[in-house]
Amino acid sequence: MKLPLQQDDHQRVMSLLDEAYACRTNNLKRSTALAREALSLSQKLNEIGLVAKSLSHAALFAMILGEYESALDMSAQAIKIYESLNDDKGIADAKYNIAGVYYKTNNYHLGLVNLVDCINTYRKYNDYHNLARSHKSLGTVYEYFGDEKNAIITYEDSIDAAKKAGDLNLESNAYNPLSGIYLKKQDIKMASELIEMSIAMKTQTSDIRGLAFAYYGRGKVYTAKKQFAKAEDDFKASINIHLAMGETLGLGMAYHKLASLYVLMGQLAQAKEVLQKGLDFSTEYHLSMVKFKCYHLFYDIFKLENDPINALKFLELYLKERESVINAQTLKVIENYDLINKMEAIKKEAQLQLEKAEIIEKKNLAEQTAIVKQEFLSTMSHEIRTPLNAIITIASLLSDKTDKEEQELINALRFASNSLLLLINDILDFTKLEAGKTSLEMRPADFKQLLNNIKKTYESLAREKGLVLDLKIDNRLADSYELDENKLGQILGNLITNAIKFTYFGQVDIITEKISTTGYKDTIRFKVNDTGIGIAPNYLQDIFESFSQPQSITTKKQGGSGLGLAIVKKLVNLHGSDILVTSTEGIGSSFYFDLRLKKAESPDKPFSKHTESLKGKTILLAEDNVINAMVITKLLSNWKVKTEHVKNGFEAVEKTKQKAFDFILMDIHMPEMDGFQATKNIISAADNPNKKTPIFALTADVTAEYQTEFHSYFTGFLRKPIEVEKLYDALLDSIRR
């Protein structure tokens, strides 16, 4: 059917080719006519890409019809055009036609080489439709070589590709020969199941030409079952369809199998009649594989008829034909057989490449997610912690200058702001732990003093709920150990606040006991027991998961991020240990973990905060937030420190050129020039008087600490909100250096 002339000519050619390919399953003659019409129109349009495509389609139909010379000629023309266009997929399409001609005649090694080329190209483009066709044809070549193992693998590859392409015809095409292999293995049940699947699919899709091959396959199964009448019907049905469709190879195979059936049935005259048709047909169309099989069957028939002269004649013809077909190719097949062995390696390599691409894609996605996550955390920490810095520091400064009534308001303000800060810190600390950005900083510490300080920190929280917070320290423990005070404080702090949160009556106990001693190290068990509401047994396994809180016990009275115990688990794991829990609903819970700590000498006493060690020192404060600058300046003035303030990195660099300072506090996020770049400019300038001055990064952005390329620029990182004691200690430590 010709399309209306007003349609685009290019689209008209494509429509002709699509229709030609679609009707190949039931009307090859029409397919050929449509392809040639498309070729003629393409040539008139002088569209070489369409010419090549039309030639390739026409060659495919010629190959199926047994017009081999025409198929090879048109394929060669198509390849020449595709090469000029650098279209490797088009080249593969044409090579598929050439491979079909070669393996259907007597050049199996050339069929093999071309099919391998096709598969490599189609795999590169994930062209599952053509992969299914090529694998099926390659399986046929393997069968010709007698390599049933590779044939099965390749047919299964064809089925897999066909399923991915969603093409039932191609899927069923592979079931036909696969059924034949199982038949040779005497697995009649499997062979029957496969061929019935094929017939059902062919019937569903109305693939008449494919149905002929399926009938042929079922005829072989019926023959094996000795259901000769059914087998005869199927072989005849296959022959009739092939005759109507003009299919050459299928017709030759069907003639041979029907003749073989008649031999089994003892109908030798009929066998010879049908076999002669098969021999004449295979001779005309150069179907060498079918031809020498016909010679061999004639040999068997004449032996049965006790006709030694004719039997010998056909035996000699069989051996000669077989030698010309098989033996003449032996060296070529051996030379190219490494391709067969390489096919599995090629497939595995392709799978590895696919897996590699998937891994890279996942890695890129993870990296992009991490960047987005880090940018969010950077913004969140900076935008929330910056105003909190002002609130907490102002509250701290006012706490000593208010009357009793105002003191209560100030304490409420400090409590609220510290609660918000704890929530933010939970999220940021968990993120650092997840990213592997946290490590232990082991230093000698006064163990008992640390525990007492932790208790004092949470005593008021327990007292507000009417609870007793008790600390029990094993008197066998040393006075000092090497440990990370912050991390241990964070672990116990989270466990204590968690216990207080879910306890309404009774007490919370902090217990430490020595489990064992090895050399200079003690194994210490830390316990936090409570008389709270307890945890249901089915929830114990999830209690340490992030953002996890039992819905049954969570009320508006219990806030929090749901990260406390997840952080505890990760911090305890960081010590090489694990956190455990026992609990009884309505009675209470016990969280405990063991740490192996090295005994240490008593740590040096820190400088007294009441000395005037910082008196007269000068600090350059680079801070774009006016309120924060005012608060920090006021705080430093309490220590008799003189402060000069600049609002951005550019001003900081200019100010450092004018005079030397004792310290520099450098905000990271500032307009015009950020703190990283400003610090780099200061320390890299040969004539800057502050080249060696201690510079502390002062930031509300916790992710700034992750940027390790800038670590060498700074003496240290100080988070906002400012922790007064840490700031004081940092400045004192830099003096001691």
Q: How confident is the model at residue 555 (pLDDT cuts 50, 70, 90)?
A: very low
**Which carries the bigger pLDDT value, residue 440 or residue 405?**
440
pLDDT at 552: 42
* CA angle (95, 101, 104) in 5-degree steps: 135
Q: Exposed, middle or buried: residue 203 (CB in 10 Å: 0-12, 13-18, 19+)? A: middle
Mean pLDDT of 625-636: 81
Out of 100-114, 117-131, 273-287, 553-567, pick the least confident: 553-567
Superfamily of domain 439-599: Histidine kinase-like ATPase, C-terminal domain (3.30.565.10)
What average pLDDT does the segment 373-395 reach? 60
Determine the Cα angle at 529 with ends 525 and 534, to 5°. 130
Percent of the chain clearing pLDDT 90 (strictly above): 39
Residues 262/285, Cβ–Cβ less than 8 Å:
no
Per-residue confidence (pLDDT) for residue 413, from 0 to 100: 63
What is the structure's pLDDT at 317? 86
638-645: list long-range contacts, CB under 8 Å, 24+ apart: 638/397, 639/612, 639/614, 639/615, 639/728, 640/612, 640/614, 640/615, 640/616, 641/614, 641/615, 641/616, 641/617, 642/616, 642/617, 642/618, 643/618, 643/619, 644/618, 644/619, 644/620, 645/621
Strand-strand pairing, 695-699 and 663-667:
parallel
**Interacting residues of 536 by C-beta distance below 8 A, sequence separation 6+:** 550, 552, 585
Q: What does 108-147 look like in DSSP terms, one character per residue?
A: HHHHHHHHHHHHHHHHHTT-HHHHHHHHHHHHHHHHHHT-
**C-alpha distances in angstroms, 33 versus 2, 50, 74, 173, 490?**
12, 16, 15, 25, 82
Matching residue, tokens 């303030």: 645
For residue 3, the 8-state DSSP code is P
For residue 376, pLDDT beyond 70: no
Give the mean model confidence (pLDDT) for residues 255-260: 94
As given in the structure block, the two tokens for residue 11 are 């689209």
Predicted local confidence at residue 79, as pLDDT: 93
CA-based R_g, the chain, Å: 43
**Least confident segment among 276-290, 495-509, 699-713, 720-734:** 699-713
Which residue in 179, 161, 182 sits closest to 170, CA to CA? 161
pLDDT of residue 238: 92
Domain spans of the chain?
439-599, 618-736
pLDDT at 36 over 60: yes
Write the pLDDT tens digit of every residue in 656-687: 999 999 999 998 888 888 888 999 999 988 89
Query: What residues have CB less than 8 Å from 1, skipping those under 6 apart?
Result: 19
Q: pLDDT at position 547, please?
A: 44
pLDDT at 416: 56
Phi and psi at 193, nearest 5°, equal -60, -45
Q: Are 115 and 138 in contact (CB under 8 A)?
A: yes
The 3-state DSSP class for residue 471 equals strand
What does the buried/exposed string (b/e) look like for 318-335 if buried means 16 or more CB atoms within 10 Å of the residue's CB?
beebbeebbeebeeebee
How much of the chain exceeds pLDDT 70, in percent?
Answer: 77
Evaluate if residue 400 carries a pLDDT over 70: no
DSSP 8-state symbol, 663: E
Instruction: Tell me what the pLDDT averaged over the chain comes to.
Output: 81
Q: Residue 437 has which token pair? A: 């950005």
| 487 contacts 442 by C-beta, under 8 angstroms | no
Residues 686-722 as b/e (b if ≥16 CB within 10 A, e otherwise) read eebebeebbbbbbbbbbbbbbeeebeebbbbbbbbbb
User: Residue 102 half-sphere exposure, CB side, CA atoms within 13 Å?
Assistant: 20
Q: What tokens were used for 529?
A: 């027991």
Would you say 699 and 667 are in contact if contact means Cβ atoms under 8 Å apart? yes
Q: Report the 10 Å Cβ neighbour count for 3.
A: 14
Cα 482 from Cα 468, distance rounded (Å): 30
Residue 551 or 490, more confident? 490
Task: Judge whether residue 198 has pLDDT over 50.
Answer: yes
Check: CB of residue 690 under 8 Å from CB of residue 682: yes
What does residue 581 show for φ and ψ, rounded to 5 degrees?
A: -145, 140
Q: What pLDDT score was predicted for residue 328?
A: 47
More confident residue, 721 or 11: 11
Say what the pLDDT of residue 441 is.
78
Model confidence at 104, pLDDT cuts 50, 70, 90, reads confident
| Triad 647, 649, 652: Cα angle to 5° | 75
pLDDT of 351 higher than 90: no
Name the strand (E) or helix (H) holding 312. Answer: helix 308-325
- pLDDT tens across 591-618, in order? 999 999 999 876 654 444 445 788 899 9
399 pLDDT higher than 80: no
pTM over 0.85: no
Cβ atoms of 443 and 473 within 8 Å: the answer is no
Distances 65 to 209, 245, 379, 390 between C-alpha atoms, Å: 12, 8, 70, 88
Q: Tens digits of per-residue pLDDT, 407-425?
A: 666 665 665 566 556 555 6
- Mean pLDDT computed over 641-652: 92
Under the banding of pLDDT at 50, 70 and 90, the label for residue 256 is: very high
**pLDDT given for residue 350 in this prediction:** 58
Phi/psi of residue 668, nearest 5 degrees: -90, -50
User: In 424-452, which positions are buried (b, 16+ CB within 10 angstroms) versus exposed (e)?
Assistant: bbbbbbbbbbeeeebeeebebbbbbebbe
Please give the pLDDT value at position 2.
43
Kindly tell me if the per-residue pLDDT of 335 is higher than 50. Answer: no
| pLDDT score of 330 | 44
Residue 206 backbone zone (phi > 0: left; psi -120 to 50: alpha; other: beta): left
Higher-pLDDT residue of 430 and 154 is 154
Residue 706 to residue 718: CA distance in whole angstroms: 13
**Cα four-point dihedral sign 250, 253, 258, 261:** negative
CATH assignment, 618-736: 3.40.50.2300
